[in-house]
Amino acid sequence: MAGLREFADRLWRGEIDTVIDAHPVTVPWNDRQAEEIADGVLYYKGLAAATTIDAGGALVMLDTGAQNDAERLHAAVRAWRPAPRLAAAVFSHHHVDHVFGVGPFERESEDRHSTRPLVYGHERIPEHFRRYQRTRGWNGAINRRQFARPGLPLSPRFEWPSDYRFPDVTYRDRLRVRVGDLTLELHHARGETEDATWTWVPERRLLAAGDLFIWATPNAGNPQKAQRWVGEWAAALRQMSALGAELLVPGHGLPIFGAERIRQALDDTAGLLESIEGQVLALMNAGASLDRVLHEVEIPAAALAKPYLRPVYDHPQFLVRNVWRYYGGWWDGEPDRLLPAPRDDEAREWVALAGGLAAVLARAKALRDEGDLRLASHLVEVAVRAEPSSREAHDLRAEVYETRATLEPSSMARGIFQYAAASSREGKRDGFDPN
Ligand SMILES: [Zn+2]
C-alpha cells in the first residue's frame, strides 16, 4: 500500500512534476495501475481514475475508465476480489475516459448467471451520448489536436466511439443508493459538464469528485468543447469541502489522504474559480469587450503555484473565455468580426499593404527573435493564408509554434500549437483538412 500513498504524498508536497511525471491524463506511479488505498477500496488509474469499493458481498465502482482500460481494470478488480459481483457503477459524467469499464463485468454476470450491474448517472448523460454519436468526426478532429505530440504522425487512426453503455438509473438533483453495507450519495453539479455527479460514501468518509478535481487548473475552459460552468463548479467544491472527507478520489491524478489536505485542495480550487468568474463578470458589467477581459483579468499566481492547481492541462485564460461565453454569447464585441469577410481575403489585404510576403515574414522573424511569440503567431497566420503554397511561410509558422509549444505549460494549448506546427511541416495549415 505504501507505493501509491508515498507517491501521492510527494505529489502533494510538490516534489513530482505534474507537467510530465504526473500529468492528470497520464498513468503515474507504477505499471500495475491499481492499488488498495484503504480497507476495501481499490484505486485504478488509467487515463482517468476508477475506484472500486467492497460493499460487503458486492462491489461498487465510482467511474469505470476508458475503452482501453476495460480489460485491465476488470483484471485488476478480479485479482483483488475474485468473487463478489459488481452490483453498481456510477458514471461521474459522460466523457469517454469514464464510461467504458462495465462491459467485462456484464459479460461475466451472464457467464455466472448473476444479476447484471446497474449503472447510475445524471439524467442528462443520455443526451450527451447521443450528441457524441452525432459529432464523431468533430470529436475525432478536436481530440487529435488536443492530444497532439511532437513526432506523432499527423493521421493517427483515432476513432471516436459510437456505442455507449447508457445508465439504467438516472436522477436530477440527488440520489441515495444502498449497496451492501454502503450508502452512495450522488449529487449533481454543473462543472466540466452539465451532467456531473460527485459521490459521497459516508461510511468510509470517501468522496469521489469525478473531474471536478483533477490535480490541475480545472478543465473549465477547454477551447474545443461544449459549455462548462465555472461558478457552479466552485459552489460544488465548497459543498464537498464541508463534508469532512478523509479520502478524496479525483477524476484524474492521485487520491488525497486526510481531511485537512482535502479541504485545502477543494477550497483553493473553488477560490481560483471564484476569482476568475468574479473578475470576468465585473468587467462585463462595466461593458468591457472580450479583448479587454482577456488581458485585464488577473489570474491569482499563488493559486496556480499549488501542486494541485498548476495549469498543466487547461489554460486559465480559456476559463475566462468560457465565463464570457456562458454569460455573454459568442460575439467578442469587435464590430468587424460580427459579419466578417473570409479570413484568407483579409490576410491578402494585409500582406499586400505590408508590401508583400517577404516583409511580413521578416517582421514575424524579428518578433519571434524578440520573444513576442503571440504577435509573431498573428503574422505567420496572415502569411500562410495569403500565400498558402509558400514553403518559407510554412517553415516559419512551424518554428513559431514549435517554440510556443516548448514554453507552454498547458498541454491543451501545447497540443494545438504542436498540431499547427506539424501541419505546416507538411505544407498545410490544417493537417487533417482533406482539401
Ligand atoms: Zn476525465
Check whether domain 341-425 has CATH 2.40.50.250, yes or no = no
Question: What is the rounded distance in angstroms from the CA atom of residue 416 to the CA atom of residue 205?
Answer: 40
- For residue 255, how far is its CA from the centre of ligand 1 (angstroms)? 15
- For residue 42, how far is its CA from the centre of ligand 1 (angstroms)? 18
* Burial of 114: CB neighbours in 10 Å, binned 0-12, 13-18, 19+: middle
Question: What is the rounded distance in angstroms from the CA atom of residue 339 to the CA atom of residue 148?
Answer: 32
For the chain, give every domain's residue range.
2-272, 274-328, 341-425
* Burial of 82: CB neighbours in 10 Å, binned 0-12, 13-18, 19+: exposed
pTM of the complete model:
0.94
Which amino acid, 105? F
CA distances from 417 to 317, 324, 412, 421 (A): 16, 23, 9, 6
- For residue 214, how far is its CA from the centre of ligand 1 (angstroms)? 8
- For residue 70, how far is its CA from the centre of ligand 1 (angstroms)? 15
What is the structure's pLDDT at 2? 53
Per-residue pLDDT of the chain (435 residues; tens, 9 = 90+): 458 899 899 999 999 887 777 788 876 656 668 999 999 999 999 989 999 999 998 999 999 999 989 999 999 999 999 999 999 999 999 999 999 999 999 999 999 999 999 999 999 999 999 999 999 988 888 887 777 776 554 455 678 899 999 999 999 999 999 999 999 999 999 999 999 999 999 999 999 999 999 999 999 999 999 999 999 999 999 999 999 999 999 999 999 999 999 999 999 999 999 999 999 999 999 999 999 999 999 999 999 999 999 999 999 999 999 999 999 999 999 999 999 999 999 999 999 999 999 999 999 999 999 999 999 999 999 999 999 999 999 999 999 999 999 999 999 999 999 999 999 999 999 876 544
Show the CA angle centred on residue 86, arms to residues 80 and 87, nearest 5°. 145
Per the document, the length of the chain is 435
Let me know: does 244 contact 284? Beta carbons within 8 Å: no
At 250, list the grid cell.
479525483
What is the structure's pLDDT at 382? 98
- For residue 210, how far is its CA from the centre of ligand 1 (angstroms)? 7
The CATH topology of domain 2-272 is Metallo-beta-lactamase; Chain A (3.60.15)
Neighbours of ion ligand 1 (CB under 5 A): 48, 95, 97, 211, 251
What is the structure's pLDDT at 434? 47
What is the structure's pLDDT at 18? 78
Backbone dihedral angles phi then psi of residue 389, each to the nearest 5 degrees: -95, 5
Rounded to a whole number of angstroms, the CA Rg of the chain reads 23
Question: What is the rounded distance in angstroms from the CA atom of residue 248 to the CA atom of residue 419?
Answer: 35
Let me know: does 58 contact 51? Beta carbons within 8 Å: no
